[in-house]
Structure 1
Amino acid sequence: MTSTPLRILTVLPLYGGSLPIGRYCVRALRALGHTVECFEAPEFHGAFRALKEQRIAADRLVALENGFLQLVAQTVLAKVEHFEPDLVLALAQAPLSRQALQRLRRDKVPTAMWFVEDYQVFPYWKAFARLYDAFAVIQKEPFFGLLEELDQRNALYLPLAADPDFHRPLDIPRELSAVDQRRYGSDLSFLGAGYPNRLVAFRQFLSLDFKIWGNDWPTHGPLTPLLQRPGERITPEEAVKIFNAAKINLNLHSSVKAEPLVTGGDFVNPRTFELASCQAFQLVDRRGLLAELFTDRELAVFEDMEGLRDAIRHYMAHPEERLAMSRLARERVLREHTYQHRMTTLLEFLQQRLGLGAIRTKGEPGVSAPLPDDSPLAVLSPDLRAQVDALLHDLDLRPTVRFEDLIWTIRQRQGTLSELETALLFLDEWRKQYGGGR
């Protein structure tokens, strides 16, 4: 499928688990040849957090927080006016207010949300879902039916994924030193938040070589000896080291209830894909949607705590099985479960439902392609066009990129401009002055 690459504004949340997912989406969309601008909402998080630290009445604080989020949403709209995107893609908890979404719809700017959260735990979707032109989710029924009741008829099941250039096996000892292996390594490892079911379940492994990483764990209790830097959020870079260093990574999905410990829910968390992409062995609880994504030859699955205990004993004694399964799991991710796969699926859906421009894959470097007759690049000599093609390759852009997108990308770069980049910027200014360009 071919068409002109898109201009996409990705709106990140202020903080939280969907923040790194948004960054993986940005990389994937750029790798697919699109011009992507990122609204860095986390830059506003410090000011938002400072509001909570003021000694003011609760009702006044709520009003101030709402006013602050409205300001951030207006900043997104200003970004839209400047960038003129073909699509605004928001991640879960992105700071887009109802008023901002209504304004974008009025201005005919297509919007999509990737709601990478459990709809039962985070019900705020009810207030926003119908205001997006499309709503991608990590669950199926009954969520689809609930969205349709809200008049959101462009719902898409879009499971999570991994970035295989980031989530990958690390070279030992070049990327995972002996010091790293001692710091992050263990027989058992878990990285995630201290949800109630995990607080109870992990007490069964106090006698094992078990390290627990992540935030929101009680600092005092039975699990305290297992906590590594308790309460500290682990960076994605550090997570990859933890995944690689452990013999067995436990992947027990979260629940806000202490019982049952293994919930048998539907959605598959990002850790499942990231561990698989790292070629790191994992024991994951069976999920309703897991069988569509991985086979039991690729992931070792347990259904209850007795099964988990048996699996730990078995796989600790059979490292060759761990290696074989983890290799198959990474191969599956590379075939079907990368963020490029997900963004391709999303954009194809938007093309079908909204008429948005079709996606395209990256072109080969140095290959000239036909340009629209009205493109300023169409009048260049073959020698200059070859230089432009080389620049496009360096900028990771398609040979058929719109002139406006090339200029935008050049303006976002850091450092000294080359002679060619300077000439192209001059051409853009000349075009605006005398050629009627925008």
Structure 2
Amino acid sequence: MNKDKVLRILVVLPLYGGSLPVGRFCVSALQKMGHLVETFEAPDFYGAYTAIDDLKVTSDRHQYLRNSYLNMLSQAVLAKVETFEPDMVLAMAQAPLTHQALKRMRNDNVKTAMWFVEDFRLFTYWQSFAPFYDVFAVIQKEPFIGELRQIGVENSLYLPLAANPDFHKPEELNPVDARKYGGDVSFMGAGYPNRRLAFRKLIHHGLKIWGTEWDGDHVLEPYVQLGGRRVSSEECVKIFNGTKINLNLHSSINAGELVGGGDFINPRTFELAACGAFQLVDKRTLMSEAFDDGELAHFEDLDDLDRKIEYFLSHPEEREAVTQRSRERVLKDHTYEVRMQSLIDFTVQQFSDWPAERKTDTLFDNNFPEELKNDIVSLVSKLGLPANVGFDDLVAAVRAQQGQLSPLDTAVLFLDEWKKTYKR
């Protein structure tokens, strides 16, 4: 496929959860790549979804109402598909899409992909949904890919997480933010069992803990910041940049396995590196594929972590050298633009008829007045579209804009309506 080809991609976000910010970074990356992107904003419907929990009805009725609501959201996605006519529907983990909606899109020859950015061992709903997607992208390799193959999923793609350099970047904190978010040693993330036990041995470093699910731990409670509320993506960047040593201990539900040495690489690894922030991270089996020796500072166990905290606190020049190497690697190989291009390339490889050719006029086959042509060229550039964009794609990009339409936007839409009415 021509890399300059403009694709229409509908990104379906989840109602809530960890894949929500990942989905937003995918949208940003695809737009930056010059594709036409629409977003199904499932979080807008989250309030009504949670309100079902307050109805005080029987468990059977409660489940029925939840399923009915999710089915309605799936129908709303299908309505967006009919209007936008995407080349691909990209669903994030836990996106509100039913089997029936996925079957409908497959029948209509709309390619669907899911980026399953969760641990397949903990979140097992993939067993039900994976066969209904045309492409199933995952953050783990074997045995997950083998298990997918056993249930008939041949089009699985290893697609590790990433960073958004326009968002995850070095930032100089003002004095107020430096006091609030800064510190010698911190951790940002949820209070999984292995982390709760591990961090009890590290509080003598003046540890700051950010994130949710730390309640009920009386030892760590004094070190949990902001009352244990959810930390926004913007606040994460401030924490990363304001901390001398960011701890990055991957999650495990097995409290007896404090440093598990598992496979997937969490998003924090890439985001910290992109921020130019120093991290001490546990080794993962897939880490050597993503980073070379010297591009990250690792620890083997808690005693090793304790020693390395002391060492790197007193060696800022070594911290700086590591962060420079890790940031260069992420900017080169581990951005969301790189991941989205990998997804597109894989889909092209797996489906010879994708993306389908659209029957559309070229831009200047539309009898624009001569005095408007330069303005149209400027509009195409402003929208981030290639110079050879088709007229229908230009119309879709104009419609997708936020805010008030300019006179030129209105003229383009008027011409589109005129063509639909009279040129048939």
TM-score (normalised: structure 2)? 0.96
- Cα distance in 2 between the residues matched to 1:356 and 1:228: 52
Deviation at 1:231, TM superposition (A): 3.1
Measure, in 2, the Cα distance between the counterparts of 1:207 and 1:390. 59
Q: Partners in 2 of 1:269 and 1:18 — Cα distance?
A: 12
Number of corresponding residues:
421
Please tell me the residue identity of whatever aligns with 2:68. G
Change (3 A) 1:3 1:326: closer
Structure 1 residue matching 2:227: 3-state secondary structure? coil
**Equivalent-residue separation in structure 2 for 1:42 and 1:372 (angstroms):** 34
Residues 252-303 of structure 1 show CA distances to partners (whole Å, capped at 9, x for unaligned) of 0001110110000000000000000000000000000011111231110112
Is 1:322 matched up with 2:319?
A: yes
Of stretches 227-236 and 50-59 in structure 1, the one that deviates more from structure 2 is 50-59
Deviations 1:315-343 (A, max 9, x none): 11101110111111111111100000000
Which aligned pairs between 1:14-413 and structure 2 lie closer than 5 A? 14-170=15-171, 172=172, 176-355=173-352, 357=354, 374-375=361-362, 377-378=364-365, 379-380=367-368, 383-413=371-401
Give the structure, 1 or 2, with the largest relative contact order (CA under 8 Å, sep 6 or more): 1
TM-fit CA distance, 1:383 = 5.0
By how many angstroms is 1:3 displaced?
Answer: 5.1
- Give the Cα separation in 1 of the matches to 2:196 and 2:217: 12
Compared CA separation, residues 356 and 95, structure 1 to 2 (3 A)? farther
The Cα shift of 1:420 comes to 2.0
Q: How much does 1:207 deviate?
A: 1.8
SS at match of 1:188: strand
Does the aligned pair in 2 maintain the 1:217–1:230 contact within 8 Å? no
Residue 435 of structure 1 aligns with which residue?
Answer: 423
What are the superposed Cα offsets for residues 126-151 of structure 1, whole Å, 9 maximum, x if unpaired?
00001000100000011111111111
**Local SS of the residue matching 1:229:** helix
Between 1:161-170 and 1:347-356, the stretch displaced more is 347-356
Deviates more, 1:294-303 or 1:399-408: 399-408
**Offset of 1:382 from its aligned partner?**
6.1
Deviation at 1:421, TM superposition (A): 1.8
User: Higher mean Cα deviation, 216-225 or 153-162?
Assistant: 216-225
Secondary structure at 2:284 match in 1? coil
SS in 2 for 1:386: helix
Deviation at 1:244, TM superposition (A): 0.3
Deviations 1:199-227 (Å, cap 9, x if unpaired)? Answer: 10000012222100001112441101100
Once the two structures are TM-superposed, the CA of residue 372 in structure 1 deviates from its matched residue by 8.8
Deviation at residue 51 of structure 1 after TM alignment: 1.1
Residue 381 of structure 1: how far off its partner (Å): 6.1
Q: Contact 1:6/1:357 (CA < 8 Å) preserved in 2?
A: no
Q: Give the AA of the match of 1:189.
A: S
Q: How far 1:2 moved relative to its partner?
A: 3.5
Distance 1:123 1:304 in 2: 29
**2:361, 2:391 within 8 Å by CA — same for their partners in 1?**
no
In structure 2, what residue type is equivalent to 1:271? Answer: R
CA distance in 1, matches of 2:217, 2:143: 39
Cα deviation, residue 418, structure 1:
2.6
Does the 8 A contact of 2:178 with 2:242 survive in 1?
yes
Provide the C-alpha distance between the structure 2 equivalents of 1:337 and 1:247, rounded to a whole number of angstroms. Answer: 23
The residue that corresponds to 1:425 in the other structure is 413
**Using a 3 Å threshold, how does the CA distance of structure 1 residues 14 and 184 change in structure 2: closer, same or farther?**
same
- Of the structure 1 ranges 283-292 and 403-412, higher mean CA displacement relative to structure 2 is found in 403-412
Q: Deviations over 1:223-259 (max 9, x none)?
A: 0110002331110001000000000000000011101
Larger displacement relative to structure 2 (382-391 or 183-192): 382-391
Deviation by residue 1:84-109 (Cα, 9 ceiling, x = unmatched):
11100001110001111111111111
Query: Relative to structure 2, which stretch is displaced further, 216-225 or 186-195?
Result: 216-225
The one-letter amino acid of 2:263's match is: D
Q: Deviations over 1:353-408 (max 9, x none)?
A: 023657xxxxxxxxxxxx99833533446653322111111112222222122112
* 8 Å CA contact retained: 1:33, 1:396: yes
> Do 1:197 and 1:258's aligned partners in 2 also have CA atoms closer than 8 Å?
yes
Match of 1:361 in 2: none
- Whether the aligned pair in 1 keeps the contact of 2:134 and 2:155 (CA below 8 Å) is yes
- Measured in 2, the distance between the counterparts of 1:133 and 1:162 equals 25
User: What is the distance in 2 between the residues matched to 1:228 and 1:210?
Assistant: 10
Flag structure 2 segments of 5+ consecutive residues without an equivalent. none
Mapped contact 1:4–1:400 kept (Cα < 8 A): no
Residue 138 of structure 2 aligns to which amino acid in structure 1? Answer: V
**SS state of the match for residue 230, structure 1?**
helix
- 8 Å Cα contact 1:7/1:87 also seen in 2: yes
Q: Judging changes above 3 Å, is the alpha-carbon distance between structure 1 residues 357 and 28 closer, same or farther for their aligned structure 2 residues?
A: farther
Distance 1:207 1:276, change over 3 A: same
Following TM superposition, by how much is the alpha carbon of 1:53 offset from its aligned partner in structure 2, in angstroms? 2.2
